Structure 1
C-alpha cells in the first residue's frame, strides 16, 4: 500500500455519518444536521431560470458581483459589519470557507483555541493544516456558552486563532454579547484571528445574534444558505475578512475550487433579495419542536439545557450504551464524545425532523430505552 500523507492520519471518519449506517430503515433520525424543509419555491424558480437561460458557466472566482453586493448589504444590515464586494468570497458551502481559513493561516507550531464541545469539522481542518488544538471548556453550568475569561486563560504567544460558533453545533448555545465583544477585544490585544462560523445565525429563538467582526478587524466571518434556506445539497456559502486576510483566503479558494456553483449562486441571490416568510415559518416550527424535545427529555430525567438556537439539544445521558440501545429501538442519535472531551456523557439530538416523529421518538426512548 502507498502510504498516505501524515496529515490525513489525524483525521477520523465522521461518527455522525457512521450513525446513518444503522440497518433499521424505519428508524427515526435525530442525528441529521440539516433542515427537513424544502428549498423555498421562489429560490427553486430562480435556479430553474438560470439553467433555462444557460447561466451555467464559470462565474468570477469570488462569485457573481450582484450576489456579493447583496451579501455586503446583508452583513451591514444584520451584523453591523462594514465590508466590500472585493472582500467577499462565495464558497462551496461554509465547509469550504472553514477549510480555506485553516489552510491560509495555520501551520505547525500554531495553537488554535477550540471550544469544547464543538462541531467536529473544526478539529479536522486544524489537523489538516498542521495546527495544534487547545481546547477551551464550554461547561454545562454555563449553558455550554463560551466565556471570555476561559479563553483568556488559554492564550499564549503561540495562539494563532480561535473558532467561534454561535448558535452552536452541537449544543444550541448562543453566546452572550459581552463574551463576543470581550473575545473580539482579546483578538486585537493579543493579535490572533477569530474564525466565526455563523451558519445558524437566523435559527435563533430567545436571544439576539452578535458578530465579533463588529468589534474586531481580526475576524473571518463565515455564513451560508444551507441552514437558513434549507439549501444544504446546493453547497453555497460565503465569507468576508479584511483586505489582507481576504487576499490570502482567495489564493487557496482560487487554486482549489476556482468558483462556486453558478446555479446555486442565482438561488442564493434570490434567497437574499426575495421574501423571508418561509424562513420565519421554519424558525417558528423549530422553536415548537425545541420546546417539545427539551420537555420530554427533562421528563425522562435527562438534564437538558433549553437550547436558544440552531436545531440541536445536548442532554446529559451517562449511559454509555444509550446510542446503541436507542438505535436498536429505532431512534438514531449521535454520541457527544464526537464533539470533544466535554461531550462525554452527553448525546446530540437534532430536532430537524417532524413534530410527530419527535413525539414518536421520545415515546420509543421512554418506553424501550429508559423504562425498557
Structure 2
C-alpha cells in the first residue's frame, strides 16, 4: 500500500537510535544487573505543589477545551517571565502553548522551512532534530561542533554551509548531548549571519535552568537587532522535573505566532487547561528542584572526569550545563557503537553511542548524570575495569 512522502522522509529515524537503551532495558527485565546511563530524566519526582495544582484544577472543572493559542493565564505568566529574563517586552500573543518542547519544535520547523529549503544544525545534535527538519520537507545540513571549540557553534563553520536555499539555523543552548553553552559573542556572530542571509534562528532552550557555576546562559531572544527572526522553544520538563506532563511553548514574533496558529490548531488545539494552570504556577513560583539538580549533575560530571581521567585512557568532556557528559573513547580503538555494546554485554553499563547524535561523535559515548550517586560509583567502577580489560586484550 502506498504511503506518503513524510513517512518516507522519516523512515529509519524512529527507535533505531535507541537500540542499546532498549536492549539494556530487556536485559534488566530478564534479571541482569544493569546500570542505565542512557536516558536523561530528572533524578527527582515532580514537586508536590505542582501535582496538587494539577489535581485541584481537574477537580475544579478545568478539563474542557482550551484556547487554541494556549490558556491566557499561562501565556501571561510566560510573557512576564520572558520580559524579565530577556530584557525586552513580550506579550501573550508572542506565545503559543504546546504539549512539550518536541511538539513546539515540530510546529516551528513547519513554519520556518519547507520542501527545497535547508536548515543548519550543529553536529552533534539531539536525536530528534533530523526528524523535525525532515518532516518539514527541508534538508538538514550538519555544522560540525568541534571538541577543540568546546562543542560551540562557530560562525565560520556556519557561514561555509549557508546557501541560497538556507532558511533557518536550529540552535540548542545549553546543548544536548555535549552540555555546551553558547556565549553572547557566539550568538552575535550567528545573529549577524542570520541578518545577512535573511534566516530564522530557532533556539531550543529547555536546559536553561541547569547551567553550572562558571557559565552563563544567553538567549538569542535577548538580542534586539535579531528579535524579529528568533523563535525559542522550551518547557517545564527539565526545569521542574515534569517531563510526563508534556507542557511546553514557543516564543516568537507576533506575526509568526499568528501565522503558525492554524498549524497549531490543526495539530492539537491548545494545551490541557489543568496542565496550563499547573504550568502557570511553575513559571510564577520558579523551580524548587532545578538548583539541586544543577549542583548534583555538575558534581557528578566532575567526579566522572576525575576518576576516568586518572584511572583510564578515556577522556571526559566536562559539560557546562544539562544532564549529560561525553566520554572520548578513541584511545580504545573502538567506535562508540562497538564500545557501548561491549560495555553493556560484558560490564552491565548502558551508555549511548555518540553517533546516535551525529557523525562528529563516532568515537564518543554519552552518559546521563541523572542516576543516583551509588549507581554512578558502581558504573565508574565497571567502566574502569572494562577499560583495563580492553587494554590487556590489546597488549
TM-score (norm 1): 0.95
Separation (CA, whole Å) in 1 of partners of 2:56 and 2:387 = 50
CA distance in 2, matches of 1:307, 1:172: 4
Does the 8 Å CA contact 1:294/1:313 hold for their aligned counterparts? no
When structure 1 is superposed on structure 2, of 161-170 and 146-155 the one drifting more is: 146-155
The residue aligned with 2:14 is: 13
Residues 248, 343 of structure 1: alpha-carbon distance in 2 compared, 3 angstrom cutoff: farther
SS in 1 for 2:239: coil
CA contact (8 A) 1:19 1:334 kept: yes
Paired residues for 1:288-307 under 5 Å: 288-299=299-310, 300-307=312-319
RMSD after superposition: 1.5
- Cα distance between partner residues in 2 of 1:358 and 1:265: 35
Deviations 1:18-53 (A, max 9, x none): 233223213111110221211111111111111221
> How far apart, CA to CA, are the structure 2 residues paired with 1:81 and 1:189?
23
Offset from partner CA, 1:138-170 (integer Å, 9 cap, x none)? 001111111122212222221100100011111
Whole-angstrom CA distance in 1 between matches of 2:144 and 2:114 = 23
Q: Which range moves more in the overlay, 49-58 or 86-95? A: 49-58
Per the alignment, residue 197 of structure 1 pairs with 204
Alpha-carbon contact 1:111-1:161 (below 8 Å) kept? yes
Partner of 1:270: 281
Structure 2 equivalent of residue 3 of structure 1: 2
Q: Per the alignment, in what secondary structure is the counterpart of residue 249 of structure 1?
A: helix
Deviates more, 1:74-83 or 1:112-121: 74-83
Equivalence for 2:188: 181
Deviation at residue 342 of structure 1 after TM alignment: 0.5
Report the Cα distance in structure 2 between the residues aligned to 1:94 and 1:276, rounded to whole angstroms.
18
* Runs of 4+ residues deviating >6 angstroms: none
Once the two structures are TM-superposed, the CA of residue 4 in structure 1 deviates from its matched residue by: 2.4
- Contact kept, 8 Å, 1:117 with 1:342, in 2: the verdict is yes
The aligned counterpart of 2:393 is none
1:213-250, Cα deviation, whole Å (9 max, x unpaired): 22212010111100101111110101111122112221
Q: Specify which of 355, 359, 368 is matched with residue 350 of structure 1.
A: 368
Pair 1:74-2:75 in alignment = no
* Cα contact 2:116–2:165 (8 A) shared by 1: yes
Q: May I ask how many residue pairs the two structures share in their alignment?
A: 371
Q: What are the Cα deviations for residues 325-353 of structure 1, in whole angstroms up to 9, with x where unaligned?
A: 12122111111111111021111111111
Which residues in structure 2 correspond to 1:189-228 (within 5 Å)?
A: 189-205=196-212, 206-215=214-223, 216=226, 217-228=228-239
Per the alignment, residue 377 of structure 2 pairs with: 359
> 1:309 corresponds to which residue?
321
Partner Cα distance (1:370, 1:220) in 2: 47
Unaligned ranges ≥5, structure 2: 391-395
